[in-house]
């Protein structure tokens, strides 16, 4: 059965992706900053998905050294993986000229560098195996500027650029790279906003699309997934 790594796995889209993979019997290494929440989910998921294996690791992937340590742990515990989902990220709206000093560095750290350094740690084994699929969780903010996007949008544009360059590099090794660009999706960040769950997509919608893309024939790849609510973005 396939082995997968999912970062930012304790809530929202990351949690839904981990659960989708576990429901299919995959071995999943779930990573997030909150160790207590990871331990609670490991217990819950082990009971819910008895046919799958749940592994956890607590780390702040905005920290380069912690990311390197996590990559080494994955290699030690899992060997070569089949699916990597770079989902760890943060959302902070703002205007470039007015947002707090350091906001760009913060968001580039968690939204781009985490994926960059973890991929550099795990992709060489995929290249050697000539197989594997890397999903980078971008956003519709990666595709078009919008009001109040600020450094968040900059970081997501950068993640899309990383994905496209990575795809070209890995094509000769039969390793797939998919950039996932969801629009408004109901996650904890929307709670209390006044937006109803019926207006926007569910995290499960995104997880199902990733699973579908991961199950194409070896010679086919969906390079970019763009999803929006049927009524459009907010």
- Tell me the residue length of the chain: 234
- Residues whose CB falls within 8 Å of the CB of residue 183, separated by 6 or more in sequence, listed in order: 139, 140, 200, 201, 226, 227, 228, 229, 232, 233
User: Tens digit of pLDDT for each residue in 4-30?
Assistant: 999 999 999 999 999 999 999 999 999
Q: Coil, strand or helix: which one is 160?
A: helix
Catalytic pick among 113, 152, 157, 186: 152
- Residues whose CB falls within 8 Å of the CB of residue 22, separated by 6 or more in sequence, listed in order: 28, 45, 48, 49, 52, 54
User: Which 8-state DSSP code applies to residue 190?
Assistant: G
User: Tens digit of pLDDT for each residue in 66-91?
Assistant: 999 999 999 999 999 999 999 999 99
Locate the domains of the chain by residue range.
3-227
What is the average pLDDT score of the chain?
A: 96
d(CA 193, CA 184): 12
User: Tens digit of pLDDT for each residue in 207-222?
Assistant: 999 999 999 999 999 9
Which CATH code, of 3.40.50.300, 2.102.10.10, 3.50.30.30, 3.40.50.720, is assigned to 3-227?
A: 3.40.50.720
152 has catalytic annotation: yes
* Res 80: pLDDT: 97
User: Tens digit of pLDDT for each residue in 107-147?
Assistant: 999 999 999 999 999 999 999 999 999 999 999 999 999 89
Contact 52, 22 (CB under 8 A): yes
For the CA atoms of 63, 161, 4, 176, what is the dihedral angle to 10 degrees? -150
**What Rg do the C-alpha atoms of the chain give, in angstroms?**
17
**Residues of the chain above pLDDT 70, percent:** 100
């Amino acid at each position: 059965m396939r082995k997968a790594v999912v970062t930012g796995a304790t809530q929202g889209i990351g949690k839904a992706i981990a659960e989708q993979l576990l429901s299919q019997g995959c071995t999943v290494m779930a990573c997030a900053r909150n160790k207590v929440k990871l331990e609670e989910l490991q217990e819950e998921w082990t009971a819910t998905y008895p046919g799958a294996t749940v592994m956890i690791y607590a780390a702040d992937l905005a920290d380069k050294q912690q990311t390197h340590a996590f990559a080494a742990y994955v290699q030690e515990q899992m060997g070569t993986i089949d699916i990597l989902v770079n989902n760890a990220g943060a959302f902070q709206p703002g205007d470039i000229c007015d947002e707090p000093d350091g906001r760009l560095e913060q968001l580039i750290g968690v939204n781009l560098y985490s994926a960059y350094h973890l991929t550099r740690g795990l992709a060489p084994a995929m290249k050697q195996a000539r197989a594997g699929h890397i999903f980078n969780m971008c956003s519709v903010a990666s595709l078009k500027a919008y009001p109040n996007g600020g450094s968040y949008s900059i970081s997501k544009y950068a993640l899309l650029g990383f994905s496209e360059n990575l795809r070209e590099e890995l094509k000769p090794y039969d390793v797939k790279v998919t950039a996932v660009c969801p629009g408004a999706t109901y996650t904890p960040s929307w709670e209390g906003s006044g937006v109803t769950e019926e207006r926007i997509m569910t995290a499960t919608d995104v997880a199902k699309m990733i699973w579908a893309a991961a199950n194409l024939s070896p010679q086919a790849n969906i390079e970019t997934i763009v999803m929006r609510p049927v009524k459009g973005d907010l």
